[in-house]
Amino acid sequence: DAGVTQSPTHLIKTRGQQVTLRCSPKSGHDTVSWYQQALGQGPQFIFQYYEEEERQRGNFPDRFSGHQFPNYSSELNVNALLLGDSALYLCASSLAKGADTQYFGPGTRLTVL
């Protein structure tokens, strides 16, 4: 049973560029959450998607947007990249109902130069 997968593993961009990160949830899961983890910090919640809709959003600017596809996979898009966007981006999958355990992928390391 494949767990949560993310691509790419690493990414280097320059300020002002745009980036798209991808996530495939664990088999049977219908909900995807995205987190940003700066070096030496705990994860910060960006948003959560269920039934192709953004269900909850953390304190991140509109430069951060997402999408969920009918097969439950998800994308995170970040526009107008800033140096401060450099971080590990983690995707977590879960079930919408009856359970609140989230399972994480290995993350995408984004470096903005």
Partner 1 sequence: GNSVTQMEGPVTLSEEAFLTINCTYTATGYPSLFWYVQYPGEGLQLLLKATKADDKGSNKGFEATYRKETTSFHLEKGSVQVSDSAVYFCALSPYAGNNRKLIWGLGTSLAVNP
Contact residues toward partner 1 (CB under 8 A) are: 4, 6, 31, 33, 35, 40-45, 48, 55-56, 58, 88, 90, 92, 94-107
Nearer to partner 1, 67 or 104 (CB): 104
Minimum CB distance to partner 1 smaller for 78 or for 107: 107
User: What's the CA gap between 5 and 24, in Å, rounded?
Assistant: 5
β-partners of residue 23 are 6, 74
For residue 20, the minimal CB distance to partner 1 (Å) is 19
Calpha distance 31→78 (Å, rounded): 20
Pick 6 or 74: Cβ nearer partner 1 = 6
> What are the residues facing 50 on neighbouring strands?
31, 53
